[in-house]
Structure 1
Amino acid sequence: MLRKITSLLLVGLLLVGLLAGCGAKPEEPQTEEPAKEEALKIAMVTDVGGVNDKSFNQSAWEGLQKAENELGVKPGYQESKQEADYSSNLELLTDAGNDLVWGIGFLMGSQVEQAAKDYPEQKFAIIDNYYENPSENLLGITFKEQEASFLVGYIAGKMTKTNKVGFIGGMDFAVIHRFDYGFKAGVKHANPDAEILSQYAGAFDKPAIGRSIAESMYAKDADIIFHAAGDTGNGMIEVAKEKGKYAIGVDKDQNPDAPENVITSAVKRVDNAIYNVAKDLKEGNFKGGTNITYGLAEGGVDIAPSSDKLVPKEILDEVAKLKEQIIAGEIKVPANKEEFEAMK
């Protein structure tokens, strides 16, 4: 009897187990979610003009913003108030874990080179500096500023009514010499008899100095002034507005700053260079250990698209032909005083 009861209990337990097994949901296979790609972090150290200088610092920042919108890059910047800030700002952005750190401007060339040596695992790039033997983690970007400056100089030479134009440079070094002598060559190509007033301000962040130089040049009958002086040159544009004179901008299209006065600008596409390097980095093609130069042929420099607002069409047609000649190598634009003198 006991054995029979035990057998019945065992059968009952087996039935319960089978029923439970039939009602259980099968385990779903485990799948791993694909790892999300981390966004590249790219940051820049500005020159002393600051990120809103309406010139090359601002253009560089716009390039990073474009990289953010189109490539998903996380951009950042550190402003330099004085040259002594360069090294500490580069170190700060390196410590922040950026994939690439930019130096914006020739003046921090040695500091960027030293940072590349101190942090060999960190990638660095610089605007406006050429290195003879850059390390593998360092990229130099330069421009043929003289080519765009030649074109705006030609416009100035054709449009001057007083036969006198002016040039204001930021600081006295090679990059600004390319603007200076390219402009002078363009003026003389258009108008051999034109007089060119020229002065260097010694700073890129002093609009008051730009104002003072411009007031002096306009008082001497210059009716068009070209600047390559960053925020310092913005002081000249303000004077042009006040006096109803003509001005030529630099780096960015500065016509919006004074629509009735800025007839053209020698545009330098720092934004395109910044964006292109970000794209290369994302695709695993960072060109460290080299230098890249952008000219008219590479779309790195040109006159501003707004030039047709104040410059007569026949002059712009002549400029278009000159542009073709420069790209073809038929005109070699001088980049310094020696080449300018030889060209004359």
Structure 2
Amino acid sequence: MKKTFLGLCAAAAATTLALAGCAQAPGTEGSGSSAAPSGGTSAATGDFKGCMVSDSGGFDDKSFNQTSYKGLTDAKDQLGIATGEVESATTADFAKNIQSMVDAKCNIIVTVGFLLADDTLAAAKKNPDIKFAIVDSNDAKFAGVTNLKPLVFNTAQSSFLAGYFAAGMSQTGKVGTFGGLNIPTVTIFMDGYAQGVAYYNKQKGKNVSVLGWNAEKQDGTFVQSDKPFEDVKGGGRAAQGLTSQGADIIFPVAGPAGEGALQTAKASNGKVNAIWVDTDGCVSAPNYCANIMTSVYKGMDVAVFDAIKAAQDDSFSSEPFVGTLENEGTGLSPFNDFDAKVPAEMKTELDALKADIVSGKITIESKSQPTT
């Protein structure tokens, strides 16, 4: 049966807000010969092959690479296809890793991350008989490239809910956020989060402040590192800088580096908690579940699965997929360990806010929001 966003996961949510993204650690069943030194392939019946190239975070990043990778493994398990994958260590690996998947005779190659846009576009133009999909990028330069499909997500919407939630749950009246890099796929979360806090203040007559992001200036706190999405210690320093100013809820938008915020929260003995991104943190980082209040998920696994299936059954289109609250391509994950601590009134308000965003009654402003 075809997987759709309406059936994103089997996990039950505490409210009707949304269903959780279902990332899991990459399996090891795809052994076989490597298409590149850091990659692998797996055999299956049939002659269709789906492949993936990661960003520098790798397939076990507890975040967007890992969730996207699940879409590939789900396609292998459910569609019976052969698969290939290769992990990137640095940005310098992107072009050669994509080429390794071309050389491996993949029918579709999915690249993961905004930073792979230029190399993915170049490969798609050079190889018109291969289908490509890219997670988290819909560059204007993609227009007219019929074998390249963007898979993007309006996480400003779901992050608005997270900001409202954080403002309502904060005990100090200060909440924080930090990013890996100042790029659109990061700042879209931070924009929505800040606007959600502002909306809470307006509705409740409160003055909860957001540390780490100035939406007007489009600038804030970012991991200071040569590898900002992999530097867990750098993420920890960013989180500690925010908590030292009084923030008691941290929203890290930094891939694996965000684990530094989870470590900070865990060490605080309950004084600080976090909201995770890209996938349900209680699934991808269960050791920190007691400190993860909720997560802003992106249904990258399902988007990747559907793109691969479309390529297999000849229904592939370059039309962008845009995940929204309405199609459940993004949303809030369950409250998990915090469910009993979240007031019923807050749950009701979040459901109402989701409906208002979907209907257009509430308009979220972020120049980083994707368009079709």
Identify which range, 126-135 or 41-50, moves more after superposition: 126-135
* Residue of structure 1 in register with 2:330 after alignment: 301
Measure the CA separation in 2 of the matches of 1:337 and 1:143: 10
Measure the CA separation in 2 of the matches of 1:45 and 1:139: 15
* Residue of structure 2 in register with 1:321 after alignment: 352
Measure the CA separation in 2 of the matches of 1:309 and 1:65: 34
Could you report, residue by residue, the CA deviation over 1:294-335 in whole angstroms, capped at 9, with x for unpaired residues?
A: 111111001002453543332111101100111111111122
Measure the CA separation in 2 of the matches of 1:170 and 1:309: 32
Q: Which amino acid aligns with 1:200?
A: F
* Residue of structure 2 in register with 1:234 after alignment: 259
Measure the CA separation in 2 of the matches of 1:275 and 1:219: 42
Residues 1:124 and 1:189: Cα distance change in structure 2 (over 3 Å):
same
* Residue of structure 1 in register with 2:70 after alignment: 62
Residues 1:309 and 1:92: Cα distance change in structure 2 (over 3 Å):
farther
Counterpart of 1:260 in 2: which secondary structure? helix
Could you report, residue by residue, the CA deviation over 1:21-62 in whole angstroms, capped at 9, with x for unpaired residues?
A: xxxxxxxxxxxxxxx972421111111111000000000011
- Say which of 235, 260, 275 aligns to 1:210: 235
Counterpart of 2:325 in 1: which secondary structure? coil
Q: Which amino acid aligns with 1:248?
A: I
Measure the CA separation in 1 of the matches of 2:342 and 2:82: 40
Measure the CA separation in 2 of the matches of 1:306 and 1:98: 39
1:1-344 mapped onto 2 (5 Å cutoff): 38-132=46-140, 133-192=143-202, 193-198=207-212, 199-201=221-223, 203-243=228-268, 244=270, 245-255=272-282, 256-288=286-318, 290-307=319-336, 308=339, 310-336=341-367
Could you report, residue by residue, the CA deviation over 1:149-170 in whole angstroms, capped at 9, with x for unpaired residues?
A: 0011111010011110100111
Q: CA deviation at 1:265?
A: 0.5
Residues 1:37 and 1:74: Cα distance change in structure 2 (over 3 Å):
closer
1:263–1:309 contact (8 Å) kept in structure 2: no
Q: CA deviation at 1:134?
A: 4.0
Residues 1:118 and 1:61: Cα distance change in structure 2 (over 3 Å):
same
Q: CA deviation at 1:282?
A: 2.3
Measure the CA separation in 1 of the matches of 2:119 and 2:340: 42
Measure the CA separation in 2 of the matches of 1:325 and 1:71: 37
1:253–1:306 contact (8 Å) kept in structure 2: no
Q: CA deviation at 1:189?
A: 1.1
Residues 1:65 and 1:194: Cα distance change in structure 2 (over 3 Å):
same
* Residue of structure 2 in register with 1:22 after alignment: none
Q: CA deviation at 1:337?
A: 8.7
Counterpart of 2:361 in 1: which secondary structure? coil
Q: Which amino acid aligns with 2:136?
A: D
**RMSD value, Cα:** 1.8
Could you report, residue by residue, the CA deviation over 1:266-299 in whole angstroms, capped at 9, with x for unpaired residues?
A: 01111110011122122210113x3221111111
Could you report, residue by residue, the CA deviation over 1:103-138 in whole angstroms, capped at 9, with x for unpaired residues?
A: 100011011001111212221110111133141111
Counterpart of 1:81 in 2: which secondary structure? coil
Taking only the aligned residue pairs, the percentage that are identical comes to 33
Aligned length: 302
2:157–2:192 contact (8 Å) kept in structure 1: yes
- The structure with the largest alpha-carbon Rg is 1
Residues 1:257 and 1:287: Cα distance change in structure 2 (over 3 Å):
farther
Q: Which amino acid aligns with 1:210?
A: G
* Residue of structure 1 in register with 2:33 after alignment: none
Structure scoring higher RCO (CA < 8 A, sep ≥ 6) equals 2
Q: Which amino acid aligns with 1:201?
A: V
